[in-house]
Chain A
């Protein structure tokens, strides 16, 4: 376990470590269920109010490559909401947030993984939120294929990194 860095908001704090590849994380079914309910509620709110799919990659694309101000501003506000959420959580709760990066993740790996995700979501037309949550709940065949493929691909990557290359 690497050195813990702490970020403090008043007396609330977040802790993270940069050296935790293959580290156990506790199975937290209650928090997971509550979190899933909130993620789903956020997606339903966006559809009910704005008629939009809560696909985070597509929303980011619209912020980076704007079509019109009208189309840009709601996307930017959604992203600000996402960024602000852990800060609100930190201010409202006393529970420290854990945040770990995989073992000795270099800046190059972070940027490279980001690059692959950026290219992948463009050609694949979506990510875990767009295809996984919104697409599957609309019974989209494209989303079923996309989710199956990226889940298998992610599992193969984790297996290779941790058990073949021995990360």
Chain B
């Protein structure tokens, strides 16, 4: 049941990416190209998605728990640290090179063009490298008390 619900949510989310044209990476890049071929579409997608989610979450959080799970799984971190900022810088550069973020990449893979599939190879390698680095950093920090 949970799996079916997740499938449904994924289809709706992916249809949004498809209908809005965000599945096309050049349309994404054009949003950032104020000095050239600017296309404000991504801004409209973002604003509408944000408004829908803000209202929807507000309603959902009036309940004690989700329909198919015991509890809401929400992030607990609240601190702004170097990792958050530097990670976001790197992410922005990667996003700006091709115009793929994970959200529009997955539906784009459904088009069976080789581009998104090559990108996802790099993405998985990046996830693995960063995961390894995070574990090493955690080890180093616990080995040297007082180090940040």
Contact = CB atoms under 8 A, between A and B. Distances in A.
Interface of A: 5, 7, 14, 16, 18, 20-29, 31-54, 56-57, 60-61, 64-65, 73-75, 77-89, 97-102, 105, 107, 109-125, 127-129, 131-138, 140-142, 145-147, 149-159, 161-163
A157 to B, nearest CB: 3
A96 B41 CA distance: 18
B96 A158 contact: yes
B143 interface: no
A97 B102 CA distance: 19
Contacts of B50: 36, 40, 132-133, 136-137
Interface of B: 2-27, 29-30, 32-37, 39-42, 44-54, 56-57, 60, 65-69, 71-75, 77-80, 83-103, 105-113, 115, 118-131, 133-134
Given A44-B56, A123-B84, A57 B102 contact: yes
Contacts of B97: 102, 109, 112-113, 116, 157, 161
Contact of B66 (A20, A38, A49, A110): A49
Contacts of A102: 25-26, 29, 97-99
Contact of A37 (B48, B95, B99, B118): B48
